[in-house]
Amino acid sequence: MNLPLLTPRSRVMLFAPHPDDESLAAGVFLQRAIGEGAAVRVIYATDGERNCWPQRVLERKVRLRDNDRRRWGARRRNEALAALRVLGIKAVDVRFLSLPDQGITDLLLSGCGKTFWRLARSITDWRPTHLLVPSQQDTHPDHSGLAILLRLVLQNHCAAISGVTLLHYLVHGGSTSFALRSRILIPNQGEQKRKKKAILCHGTQVALSRRRFLGYAQRPERFMVGDEEAAPIFDGPFRSLERSYGQLRFEVSFSLKPLRAETTSLYLVGRDLKGTLRRFRATIPARTARFPLIDCVSGELTDHGVFRGDAFRAQISLPLTNLLASSSVYLKLDRRGWFFDEAGWVELPGVVAPIETAFAPLAVA
């Protein structure tokens, strides 16, 4: 299947979690948009200031202070502007939100009303026709966390905008489900050359990962279109997922891998019966037991889940009686190693409930 048509009337907006993601994920798409005379705006969620190892190597510093990180973030912003110039995009069409690098998931879980407002305002003020966003299946937590933030923003704060074509891109991880559902954009020789040149503008990142970064210039770009990404997926440890009224059940299979966190964290996001966005966390046990489900904002115990299994394979049940049955819930298992997760977030669509309490418009706790 082909990607949605671009015309001189198109307005393309791309959200990038970090400086460099614009070139890695969509360097060819952005060139096509400019070539068709479309308006383009690029918004960076973070400045990438906490990518510490390239900074330690290039600056020959072991200990990095806050001012070092700020300076590094400024350097990465300048690299992003240089890369966009190569792709034909002017600095006036670029915005930096400067959200915390490696902290997007924490924003999602901690009560992020201001962040919701900033993201929503960016979209509603500019009114794009094509919106490029990271995939919730990306294994970098900033990417998948931003994907869920933007999904919630679009569902609940951008209702006045209609006819927006969503294009999800994946930078990190080898999600099979994304590969099977995505559409391919194959570059011509000139587009490939400019994409490579744009990637090389990100000198701080290429310094330690040149071969990996330039590999993105050699492959087609992939995009999942519309709400295709909302269908349940089975990446990472997930083997089955089932949502019924009042309960969520899933089966997982954990592999023994080096550089994994000693514990597995579970995150759950959904709307309660009043329409308020709620976020929960839990630590998954290693053997059959009940485990507490904690409200991320208040820190209070809200309920218990059930774990049946061992450190390698298990069935997990979560209560959903306090969440709105007709609204989607979002689930993630965090077994992070280094920067990356085993998988991103999973969306479970709403189900039909026998009786449902009326609720007010979404409020952010």
Q: Does residue 240 form part of some domain?
A: yes
Last residue of some domain: 198, 229, 260? 229
Same domain, 327 and 267: yes
Task: Give pLDDT, residue 2.
Answer: 72
Same domain, 91 and 195: yes
Which amino acid is residue 90, in one-letter code?
A: K
pLDDT band at 52 (very low <50, low <70, confident <90, very high): confident
* CATH number of the domain that residue 101 is part of: 3.40.50.10320
For residues 342 and 196, the model is more confident at 196
The yes-or-no verdict on residue 364 having pLDDT over 90 is no
Task: Give pLDDT, residue 160.
Answer: 66
The yes-or-no verdict on residue 359 having pLDDT over 50 is no
Q: Which of 115-119, 127-131, 352-356 has the lowest mean pLDDT?
A: 352-356
Q: 255-278 burial, b if ≥16 CB within 10 A, otherwise e?
A: eeeeeeeeebebbbbbbbbebbbb
Q: What is the pLDDT of residues 59-94, one digit of tens each?
A: 999 899 999 999 999 999 999 999 999 999 999 999
The yes-or-no verdict on residue 365 having pLDDT over 80 is no
Q: Does residue 328 form part of some domain?
A: yes
Q: Does residue 202 form part of some domain?
A: yes
Cα–Cα distance between 109 and 104 in angstroms, integer?
9
Task: Give pLDDT, residue 247.
Answer: 93
Same domain, 247 and 149: no
Domain count, the chain: 2
| DSSP per position, 207-255 | HHHHHHHHHHHHS-EEEEEGGGGGS----TTEEEEEEETTEEEEEEE--
Tokens of 265: 């964290």
Task: Give pLDDT, residue 358.
Answer: 39
Q: What is the pLDDT of residues 88-102, one digit of tens each?
A: 999 999 999 999 999
Same domain, 301 and 353: yes
Q: How far is CA 8 from CA 111, 194, 268, in A?
A: 39, 21, 41
Q: Which residue has the tokens 């899933």?
A: 250
Same domain, 175 and 90: yes
* Residue 292 CB neighbours (<10 A): 13
Q: What is the pLDDT of residues 237-294, one digit of tens each?
A: 889 999 988 999 999 998 776 555 568 899 999 999 999 999 999 999 989 999 999 9
Element spanning 145, H or E: helix 141-156
Same domain, 155 and 285: no
Same domain, 259 and 346: yes
Same domain, 185 and 246: no
Same domain, 71 and 207: yes
Same domain, 171 and 304: no
* CATH number of the domain that residue 357 is part of: 2.60.40
Q: Does residue 5 form part of some domain?
A: no
Q: Does residue 24 form part of some domain?
A: yes
Same domain, 203 and 267: no
Last residue of some domain: 229, 263, 283? 229
Q: Does residue 104 form part of some domain?
A: yes
Give residue 43's domain range. Answer: 11-229
Same domain, 72 and 102: yes
**pLDDT (average), residues 173-182:** 87
Q: Kindly report the backbone phi and psi dihedral angles of residue 153, in degrees, each rounded to the nearest multiple of 5, phi listed first.
A: -60, -45
pLDDT band at 34 (very low <50, low <70, confident <90, very high): very high
Average per-residue pLDDT for the chain: 90
Q: What is the pLDDT of residues 302-355, one digit of tens each?
A: 999 999 999 889 999 999 988 999 999 999 999 876 778 888 999 998 887 565
Q: Does residue 294 form part of some domain?
A: yes
Last residue of some domain: 203, 229, 255? 229
pTM for the full model?
Answer: 0.92
Q: Does residue 312 form part of some domain?
A: yes
Q: What is the pLDDT of residues 140-172, one digit of tens each?
A: 999 999 999 999 999 887 776 778 999 999 999
**pLDDT (average), residues 163-186:** 91
